[in-house]
Structure 1
Amino acid sequence: MRLYSVIIPVYNRPDEVDELLESLTRQTYNHFEVLVVEDGSSKRCDGIVEKYTNKLRLTYFYKPNSGQGFSRNFGFEKAKGDFLVVFDSDCIIPDHYFETVEKYLDKHQLDAYGGPDRAHDSFTPTQKAISYSMTSVFTTGGIRGGKKRVGAFHPRSFNMGISKEVYQKTKGYKITRMGEDIEFSIRIIELGFKTGLIEDAYVYHKRRTSLSQFYKQLHFFGRARINISRFYPDEIKLVHMLPVVFTLGFFLMWVLPVVSPVLFFIAFTVFISFFGLIFFDAFAKEKSLQVAALSVGAAFTQLFAYGVGFLTEGWRKLVKG
């Protein structure tokens, strides 16, 4: 029976921590501890944590702000578990999560694992649309926890577990933000550790509550991919260029009427067909016209924001070196 140490870095999000901790009290496998690492928040969650001290094996730490990566390292150092599990504070954990992980690890030797994310029934239509966009093969190329994925599996820090040995060998996160989980996963794999996806170890991930917040997040993700290339130049794959192609194509399309109305019509038809495909796929999955319509907006926001972030950070890298 493994002991799991759950590390939750949090910055100014007490309400999210409340929901996350409440979901952990319902686990069917309860051989785990929880470490909440408050990363210099002005809105502290110590009062929320206090509510759960009699329900969970729970420890609260407050430290100066250092970013989420180094806050996770802080938790790793304090953890007593055989496996160190990281959740984002905006996640809700299904009752069966740790039971599922324990059974899987009994049958499969993994040094690090990740799980997918889903939308909870209680999520708003916008949150469900964002969740669809972030997990759809049409927008992510199947690289974020899908059954069919590109290359070795890279666990992401919203839902990730590593063995104690992995932490001891890697020393945790090398950078604290802007692609820190991607860099960490690459290093884990390069050191020869075995990683894998546990499909049924999913979490309900709230992400952002508006498309404007989603835009800022995905713009940051695009910049982060360039930041990772400073450490690992080969880690920019064709799939990461697709949002750039989308963004440049979108801008170019509006120049085409001057050059060739026929080419404009073709380009416009391609874009409309693509978003029509997203609409019908989202409707088939979510059974909601509202969510399907919002999914079109979320998909556009995701691809455009990532592309702009990638291009601006790439230009900055080119100019500054």
Structure 2
Amino acid sequence: MVLTFSIIIPTYNRPERLATCLEAIARVDYPRDRFEVIVVDDGSEKPIEPVVSPFHNPLNLTLITQANAGPANARNTGAAKAKGKFLVFTDDDCTLAPDYLHALDVRFTKTPDCLIGGRTLNALTDNLYSTASQVLIDYLYQYYNAGSNESNFFASNNFAMPTERFQSLGGFDTSFPLAAGEDREFCDRWLHHGYPMSYAPEVRIYHAHKLTLPKFWRQHFNYGRGAFCFHKVRSRRDVERIKVEPLSFYFNLLTYPLFQKSDQPGLLVSALFVVSQIANIAGFFWERLNQTTEKFT
């Protein structure tokens, strides 16, 4: 039987999270002979074979090890070995809902040529910084994916697409060294070629990214770095310049947490949104200055 899905998971120095991720996949309610799991170890300090070995029996699992080259490269490595008709990308700190593949199957049956982005839920609701990070993503999804046929951006921890189209586009741009911006660039390139994107909120994962204030700052600083790389790569294509978002975008961004149900105080989440935007701007200009300096040395 031809495989329907290839689930690709890049991993780096998070063996406990990876084990939890694989445990969730082993519980997915979907025929085992119709999907495979490809784990790409992106140069972890310790071997992860002991982590994945218990899952070789319940899952059709392949482990690939490579020197550290970043998540974009690791995803491409996994995709190159994939045998499924559709590629499913997630991260090692995410767990799939039991009906995840079934929900994707239904979607692809209706729109087999689409890039489908699912909904990500925060698994660490007691963590203020993790909550703020996820609520920010929720706002961006609401803004950039306003309608079922008007989607513009999905994060790479929960999206899927036809393998053939992924390969025809050349996969992820490996000039992105961090887990920041490479998914945005891929979505932009996908749309540039006239391919459709669709948001599927019933395709659910749970994200367990434990953050502290310094880690929250670094995350959004790196997002800023990725944003600069995105603009640089995009400028090489013959496309219109990205429009600056209106002031209403930022006003709605800062007030959005006040109207969301959450275990965390809305005012604190809004305050962290301010921190995230400052970090993002700092990262953008740091990357710009760093690349300009390297150019002249």
Q: Which residue of 1 aligns with 2:280?
A: 306
User: What is the Cα-based RMSD across aligned positions, in Å?
Assistant: 3.0
Q: Which residue of 2 aligns with 1:7?
A: 8
Matched ranges for 1:17-56 at <5 A: 17-30=18-31, 31-56=34-59
Paired AA for residue 313 in structure 1? E
Matched ranges for 1:125-144 at <5 A: 125-136=128-139, 142-143=143-144
C-alpha displacement of 1:208: 4.2
- Percent of aligned positions that are identical: 27
Q: Which residue of 2 aligns with 1:173?
A: 172
Q: Which residue of 1 aligns with 2:156?
A: 157
Paired AA for residue 177 in structure 1? P
Residue of 73, 76, 94 corresponding to 1:73: 76
**Cα distance change on mapping 1:40 and 1:106 into 2, 3 Å:** same
Residue of 219, 222, 225 corresponding to 1:223: 225
Residues paired across the two proteins, number: 285
SS at match of 1:118: strand
If the length of structure 2 is used for normalisation, what is the TM-score?
0.83
Q: Deviations over 1:241-290 (max 9, x none)?
A: 869x97xxxxxxxxxxxxxxxxxxxxxxx9xx986x455324xx11x3x4
**Cα distance change on mapping 1:105 and 1:314 into 2, 3 Å:** same
When structure 1 is superposed on structure 2, of 292-301 and 212-221 the one drifting more is 292-301
Question: C-alpha separation between the residues in 2 aligned to 1:10 and 1:235?
Answer: 34
SS at match of 2:203: coil
C-alpha displacement of 1:119: 1.4
8 Å Cα contact 2:224-2:284 kept in structure 1: yes
Question: C-alpha separation between the residues in 1 aligned to 2:117 and 2:134?
Answer: 17
Q: Deviations over 1:39-89 (max 9, x none)?
A: 111033221111211211111111111111111111111111000111011
Question: C-alpha separation between the residues in 1 aligned to 2:88 and 2:19?
Answer: 18
Question: C-alpha separation between the residues in 2 aligned to 1:84 and 1:237?
Answer: 31
Question: C-alpha separation between the residues in 1 aligned to 2:133 and 2:233?
Answer: 30
Q: Deviations over 1:194-232 (max 9, x none)?
A: 222112112112234212111111111112112111121
Question: C-alpha separation between the residues in 2 aligned to 1:37 and 1:215?
Answer: 27
C-alpha displacement of 1:193: 2.2
Unpaired segments ≥5 residues, structure 2: none
Question: C-alpha separation between the residues in 1 aligned to 2:280 and 2:55?
Answer: 38
Question: C-alpha separation between the residues in 2 aligned to 1:150 and 1:314?
Answer: 34
Structure richer in helix, relative to its length: 1
**Cα distance change on mapping 1:52 and 1:129 into 2, 3 Å:** same
Unpaired segments ≥5 residues, structure 1: 247-269
Matched ranges for 1:55-204 at <5 A: 55-120=58-123, 124-136=127-139, 142-143=143-144, 146-147=145-146, 152-175=151-174, 176-178=176-178, 179-204=181-206
